[in-house]
Amino acid sequence: MIGASGEGIHIRDLREQPSWVLNESWVRAEGVISFAGHPLIFHGHNYGVLGVFFREYICVDVFRLIRQFADHSAAALANAQAFEEIDRLRDRLAQENTFLREEARSKSESGTIVGQSAALRNVLRQVDLVAPTNSAVLIQGESGTGKELVAEAIHNASKRNGKPFIRVNCASIPRELFESEFFGHVKGAFTGAVSDRMGRFELADGGTLFLDEIGEVPLDLQSKLLRALEEGTFERVGGTETRQTDVRIISATNRDLFADIGKNLFRQDLYYRLSVFPLSVPPLRERLEDIPRLVNHFLNKVGGRHGIPTRRLSEEHLQHLCTYDWPGNIRELQNVIERAVIVAQGGIVDFEIPGLYPGTSWNQPKPAPLNCVYTYQELKEIEQENIQRALQRTKGKVSGRGGAAELLGIKANTLSARMKSMGISRLR
């Protein structure tokens, strides 16, 4: 009654008002006669109730004196909670600063999404669709395709863009530290836990948590991760307090999670929880028309980082770059450009990398010996591949100056007929 109403209660004789007594035998055994109680209110907040039982009759003056004691007690409780909150916020701020420094460093090393190919525009359309929602997104793609940039683009276009974007590389966390990294730990939870520490879920509260290489999470920890995703609750390692968090999950992988499910390496229920909106990032070989823009972007970026004047690339070099398969995708292209800029002499970048010349790929098999005899089918496949490379180099141009027919040394009509018989369509 006191807690609900915020008003004090003075009962001079409990024996005359037995309806207030829950346990009459206790009152008789203790010789209780009177009761006085006041709410513990400070600045409009009720911190509890102070109740006093007396073995004698108490007057109004004593009742008022207890009111003063209750007021002082409420102020002391408020101050204690305030100092506790200050300590908690100070620890949180220190840990957030650490993560923000890491974030700034990784942000300076990353970049923006560059390109205008049809494949990339399709990805960006999907980003625009899913960003305003809170749906979990699973980004799939080969290593080096820029999955992290896509995740960051989703966060920046969402309503959570004013809150943290916390990255977790699941492949770089030691197995024994997975739970602590995700959910945090309390002091003394294990050897080396010298203080309380917040996990990534707590740091990302209100924002976005990006789980890169999600397929690397150990199977026995996937159930705890699933619970945190479904219920929004977790406990720190070594702690008993259940904490709540509001985070949006974006995960990424270059693995076939369906195959891992079949091998009992990944939980099926976790997969469906993560892949509410699956999104696939195309490899660089499927967006070769973006290479010139990417090259210019990396030339400016690398030159600015190393204090090297902006270099220029010859048209021949661009053609060479567009005929390579790029198994390492954009990351490999960036490394190639950076090395070329560093070793460049004069104003033109020169590539001195084995295998980087027209119509070849670093991961191609070596040419067959001179005494090798090909079957008719093998010759047809070689010719088909040669025509496709010529079309790639000329960006789909068949006839005229600089066309694939001129490059192959045959008439345009002949080339068109062979393309039709082999089912080769012009490149866009």
Asked if 182 and 313 sit in the same domain, the reply is: no
Mean residue pLDDT of the chain comes to 83
Asked if 262 and 295 sit in the same domain, the reply is: no
Last residue of a domain, one of 58, 80, 102: 80
Asked if 152 and 261 sit in the same domain, the reply is: yes
Look at residue 103 in the predicted model and tell me its pLDDT.
57
Collapsing DSSP states into helix, strand and coil, what is residue 102? helix
The vertex-290 CA angle with 286 and 293, nearest 5°, equals 160
pLDDT digits (tens, 9 = 90+) for 58-106: 898 999 999 999 999 999 998 888 888 787 777 767 666 666 655 555 5
- Report strand pairing: 137-140 vs 45-54: unpaired
**Lowest mean pLDDT, pick from 201-210, 229-238, 294-303, 326-335:** 294-303
Is residue 233 within 8 A of residue 216, CB to CB? The reply is no
Torsion of CA 277, 278, 284, 288, to 10 degrees: -60
Alpha-carbon distance 322 to 117, whole Å?
Answer: 14
Asked if 256 and 318 sit in the same domain, the reply is: no
Instruction: Specify if 369 maps to a domain.
Output: no
The type of residue at 24 is E
Last residue of a domain, one of 298, 318, 343: 343
Alpha-carbon distance 302 to 117, whole Å?
Answer: 23
**Lowest mean pLDDT, pick from 129-143, 343-357, 369-383:** 343-357
- C-alpha separations of 408 from 133, 177, 288, 404, 411 in Å: 51, 59, 21, 6, 9
CATH number at residue 154: 3.40.50.300
Asked if 220 and 143 sit in the same domain, the reply is: yes
CATH number at residue 49: 3.30.450.40
**Tokens at 251, concatenated:** 């995960």
Instruction: Specify if 178 maps to a domain.
Output: yes
Is residue 77 within 8 A of residue 42, CB to CB? The reply is yes
Asked if 159 and 266 sit in the same domain, the reply is: yes
Instruction: Specify if 358 maps to a domain.
Output: no
The type of residue at 188 is G
Q: What are the backbone angles phi and psi of residue 420, rounded to the nearest 5°? A: -65, -40
Asked if 67 and 141 sit in the same domain, the reply is: no
Alpha-carbon distance 248 to 155, whole Å?
Answer: 9
CB-based contacts of 367: which residues, under 8 Å, 6+ apart? none
Instruction: Specify if 349 maps to a domain.
Output: no
Torsion of CA 261, 267, 270, 271, to 10 degrees: 0
Asked if 201 and 264 sit in the same domain, the reply is: yes
Instruction: Specify if 98 maps to a domain.
Output: no
Asked if 301 and 214 sit in the same domain, the reply is: no
Question: For the chain, how long is the longest CA-to-CA vector?
Answer: 118
Look at residue 272 in the predicted model and tell me its pLDDT.
94
Asked if 75 and 114 sit in the same domain, the reply is: no
Look at residue 100 in the predicted model and tell me its pLDDT.
61
DSSP H or E run through 100? helix 60-109
Alpha-carbon distance 129 to 40, whole Å?
Answer: 51
pTM of the model: 0.61
Asked if 34 and 144 sit in the same domain, the reply is: no
Number of domains, the chain: 4
pLDDT band at residue 339 under the 50/70/90 scheme: confident
Is residue 248 within 8 A of residue 277, CB to CB? The reply is no
Instruction: Specify if 190 maps to a domain.
Output: yes
- Report strand pairing: 137-140 vs 248-253: parallel
Asked if 134 and 251 sit in the same domain, the reply is: yes
Q: Which domain holds residue 409?
A: 376-422
Last residue of a domain, one of 243, 259, 282: 282
Instruction: Specify if 61 maps to a domain.
Output: yes
Is residue 168 within 8 A of residue 200, CB to CB? The reply is yes
Instruction: Specify if 66 maps to a domain.
Output: yes
